[in-house]
């Protein structure tokens, strides 16, 4: 774990006696809802790289809910409405891809991906009738971290019923229950 992360977490644990539960929850809120830049950095990384962040999130949940070290953390994450780090990354990628699909996103994001139906080599094929996005071929494993690959890969794994939502609100509801 990065020293600044562990140091800031240590300061928060020492101040847990002073702060109330709401203040603790608000101080850890940025950890529970990563921004676009953080998601794009975390997309495609191996689980071993995400584990330290998951441990920080677990410790934060235990701290906020005043749980012991040996208590299970999954119910605590659910009570706080926090997704695990890996699920949060996938949720954000799918939400961004849905924004691209319904044309409610910045142009730089929509330019990074391409529908299979618009690919010239797919005309007349059954795959052209789907809402799949093309995943570019990669030469390295590191390329899986790029949004142009991670976004379509996450989107293509969703069932068609989830993808067909017309609004972001309906999409998020379907995605959460998927």
Chunked in runs of 10, what are the mean pLDDT values of the chain (178 residues)? 52 54 64 61 84 90 88 92 88 91 88 79 61 84 83 92 91 87
What is the predicted pLDDT for the residue at 154?
92
Report DSSP state, residue 86: H
**Closest C-alpha to 93, from 28, 30, 171:** 171
Taking CA atoms, 44 is separated from 3, 137, 143, in Å, by 24, 14, 8
Domain locations along the chain:
3-82, 88-177
What is the predicted pLDDT for the residue at 102?
92
Residue in the block written with tokens 């605590």:
76
Q: SS3 for 5-61, per residue?
A: HHHHHHHHHHHHHCCCHHHHHHHHHHHHCCCHHHHHHHCCCCHHHHHHHHHHHHHHH
What is the predicted pLDDT for the residue at 171?
93
């Amino acid at each position: 774990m990065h020293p600044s992360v562990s140091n800031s977490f240590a300061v928060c644990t020492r101040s847990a006696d002073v702060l109330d539960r709401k203040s603790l929850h608000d101080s850890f809120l940025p950890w529970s809802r990563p921004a676009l830049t953080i998601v794009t950095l975390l997309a495609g990384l191996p689980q071993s790289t995400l584990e330290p962040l998951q441990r920080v999130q677990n410790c934060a949940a235990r701290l906020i809910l005043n749980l012991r070290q040996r208590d299970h953390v999954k119910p605590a994450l659910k009570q706080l409405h926090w997704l695990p780090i890996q699920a949060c990354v996938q949720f954000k990628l799918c939400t961004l891809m849905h924004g691209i699909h319904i044309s409610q996103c910045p142009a730089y994001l929509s330019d990074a991906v391409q529908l299979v139906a618009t690919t010239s080599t797919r005309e007349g094929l059954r795959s052209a009738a789907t809402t799949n996005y093309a995943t570019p071929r990669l030469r390295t494993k590191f390329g899986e971290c790029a949004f142009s690959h991670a976004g379509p890969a996450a989107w293509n794994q969703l069932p068609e019923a989830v993808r067909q939502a017309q609004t972001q609100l309906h999409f998020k509801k379907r995605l959460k229950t998927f």
